[in-house]
Amino acid sequence: MKLYQFESCPYCKMVREALSDLEITYININVPRERSKRQEVFEVSKQWTVPVLVDGDVMLDDEEKILPYLAEKYGK
């Protein structure tokens, strides 16, 4: 599992906290704050915004999609 994010993003923080609460191991990929420099994010999601979560073949591009997905798939 990979999370594309940057540290000061409040939406990314919500996802990081959910991953931590659910004790999910993931690869944290820090991206530039400047959207135009997020080529890696664009290649994965076809957009410049974060957070983006990749879980195997699943790609989710917004915390409003990521948080319910994590709760449903990994919730205790």
What are the structure tokens assigned to 39, written together? 């080529």
Output the domain CATH number for residue 19: 3.40.30.10
Are 2 and 27 contacting, i.e. CB atoms less than 8 angstroms apart?
Answer: yes
- If one counts the domains in the chain, the total is 1
Mean pLDDT value of segment 34-60:
96
Nearest to 33 by CA among 4, 66, 59: 4
Instruction: Answer whether residue 47 shows pLDDT above 90.
Output: yes
Position 51 confidence tier, pLDDT thresholds 50, 70, 90: very high
Residues 60-76 have pLDDT tens digits of: 999 999 999 999 999 97
Q: What is the pLDDT of residue 17?
A: 98
Domain range for 57 is 2-74
Mean of the per-residue pLDDT values for the chain?
96
- The count of residues in the chain is 76
Nearest to 30 by CA among 3, 58, 49: 3
What are the structure tokens assigned to 1, written together? 């599992």
Q: What is the pLDDT of residue 12?
A: 98
